Amino acid sequence: MREAVRLRRAIRPIAVLAVVLTTVSAPLVVPLAAREREPSSVYADRRAHLVAQLNAPVLLFGYTGRENSSPSYVFLQEPNFYYLTGHNEEGAALLLVPSGAAEKGWKGPNEIFFLPLRSPEEEKWNGPRMAPTDADVQKKTGFATVEAFSNLKAHLADLAQSYHEIWTLTSHADDTGYPHAREWSAWITQAAPGIVMHDTLPAIGAMRQIKSPGEIALLTKAIELSVDAQLAAMRMVQPGLYEYQVAARMVEIHAYGGCETEAYAPIVGTGLHSTILHFNELDALIQDGDVVLMDVGGQYSGYTADITRTVPASGHFTARQREIYEIVLGAQNAVLAAMKPGATLGRQGANSLFKIAYDYINSHGADRDGHNLGRYFTHGLGHHIGLEVHDAGDANRPLEPGMLVTAEPGIYIPEEKIGVRIEDDVLITPTGYKLLTARLPRSVDEIEKIMSAAKVARDERSSER
């Protein structure tokens, strides 16, 4: 094992202890059982549904743990692999074979799950891992056939006698980060020269867009913890704090409640920074008269929340801030009223939710030069959330029951140092929608009331000292 990985594994318990020590006295939500998994039958049904759509074997690889060598890296599974297996350890692979394979001469089972052999040396650093030789490995993984990863090449060569095509994750020109798909596509080519690879991501992505009841439950837990964090931030924001202090409190609430990580780098921007869509340097002091935009979400058992609130640093919006805020809120309410099966997140088409938000923003208020405000709505209306914060699948697919998306209009006017985004997480139902973030106030009056009560409590505490 490489030194950087050893170091990372060795320091992890220290980092966890540090989090625990800083939180024990905090009156936070009841911690959830971290890292829940759906029943094995759910993952099995997904695999059956996927392979039934395809005419050739499916071969997917989990992450190896070598994708990131940073000392702060903690392993999280490749999301498509996790979606089909619920397995969150390094070095696994999945082979699915269509039901007609036996007629083509395939003598093996229709599903094989591959795991690395046990390594006592690695386990000294990483703790126990599942291995194909474990007596209860079928029960733990939910697969009837679990074999050593080293058997995979021979199975692939055997299948290549009958199949000239295979479905896997293929690389794309716009791939960023570690080239997982490219690396494993090269491995397949080497193991089965001449086999034609097709990309299975569109089929898996389409499935991932419709959430199972178990996924909705996990997403709800991520969202609830993120709502708690947003409420705590609303109560805390005041001039004289740094952006990073607000983010730190929110991250603490996620982690203490059982989130394994943040869904994305926390965005807390005060004043001009509120107009920078993904501002994450978090280095500025909050000043009286600023608005503070907080786009922060936790990831619970693999599933991501994504929530934004914008609040006045002093506890009261100025007249202009209030005007802009209420235009964004009006746009969001107009979008919510149209959120139902058949609506689309994209910019075009008769059912476009983006167009509803844009038209609302562009027909209310004006900038200092009298121009309409549509030009200051500089991003999309929303996206799917799930195992990734911008979840897989066709972003323009009409909404269907079971989809879970964000609704996040915004106006960003740098010359006035006002950026406002209001972002909520919405489950599409057969007749409309359910606002999963409903517990988190959105109106000016509610936000000011919460901030004002928090200020009174702070003042009382400091006068008692």
Residues that bind ligand GLY (CB under 6 A): 264, 295, 306, 389
Give the integer Cα–Cα distance in Å for 312 and 392.
Answer: 34
Instruction: Give 65 or 382: the residue with its C-beta nearer to ligand GLY.
Output: 382
Crossing angle of helices 180-191 and 152-159, in 10° steps, is: 60
Pick 224 or 295: Cβ nearer ligand GLY: 295
Nearer to ligand GLY, 90 or 306 (CB): 306
**Per-residue 3-state assignment (H helix, E strand, C coil) for the chain:** CCHHHHHHHHHHHHHHHHHHHHHCCCCCCCCCCCCCCCCHHHHHHHHHHHHHHCCCCEEEECCCCCCCCCCCCCCCCCHHHHHHHCCCCCCCEEEECCHHHHHHCCCCCCEEEEECCCCHHHHHHHCCCCCCCCCCHHHHHCCCCEEEHHHHHHHHHHHCCCCCEEEECCCCCCCCCCCHHHHHHHHHHHHCCCCEEEECHHHHHHHHCCCCHHHHHHHHHHHHHHHHHHHHHHHHCCCCCEHHHHHHHHHHHHHHHCCCEECCCCEEEEHHHHHCCCCCCCCCECCCCCEEEEECCEEECCEECCCEEEEECCCCCCHHHHHHHHHHHHHHHHHHHCCCCCCECCCCCCCEHHHHHHHHHHCCCCCCCCCCCHHHCCCCCCCECCCCCCCCCCCCCCCCCCCEEEECCEEEEHHHCEEEECEEEEEECCCCEEECCCCCCCCHHHHHHHHHHHHHHHHHHHHHC
> 296 or 427, CB closer to ligand GLY?
296
CB contact set of 410 (below 8 Å; sequence gap of 6+): 277, 308, 328, 377, 378, 379, 419, 420, 421, 422
Closest CB 242 distance from ligand GLY, rounded Å: 21
Min CB(266)–ligand GLY separation in Å: 10
Reference 435, options 270, 227, 230, 250; nearest CA is: 227
CA angle 316, 319, 425 (to 5 degrees): 65
Nearer to ligand GLY, 200 or 344 (CB): 344
- Give the shortest CB-48-to-ligand GLY separation in angstroms: 32
Residue 73 or 264 having the CB closest to ligand GLY:
264
Residue (147 or 391) nearer to ligand GLY, CB: 391
CB of 182 to ligand GLY, least distance (A): 25
Q: Kindly state the smallest distance separating residue 379's Cβ from ligand GLY, in Å.
A: 8
Query: Which one, 94 or 353, has the nearer CB to ligand GLY?
Result: 353
Produce one character per residue of 275-287: b if its CB has 16 or more CB atoms within 10 Å, e if not.
beeebbebebebe
Minimum CB distance to ligand GLY, residue 276 (Å):
12
- Whichever of 9 and 421 has its CB closer to ligand GLY, that residue is 421
Q: Which of 215, 295 has the CB closer to ligand GLY?
A: 295
Tell me how far, at minimum, the Cβ of 423 lies from ligand GLY, in Å: 7
CA 317 to chain centre: 31
Give the shortest CB-250-to-ligand GLY separation in angstroms: 13
CB of 341 to ligand GLY, least distance (A): 23
Q: Smaller CB distance to ligand GLY: residue 347 or 458? A: 347
Shortest Cβ distance from residue 308 to ligand GLY (Å)? 7
Residue 309 C-beta: closest distance to ligand GLY, Å: 12
Give the C-alpha separation, 329 to 317, whole Å: 14
Nearer to ligand GLY, 197 or 267 (CB): 267
Q: How far is the CB of 268 from ligand GLY (least distance, A)?
A: 12
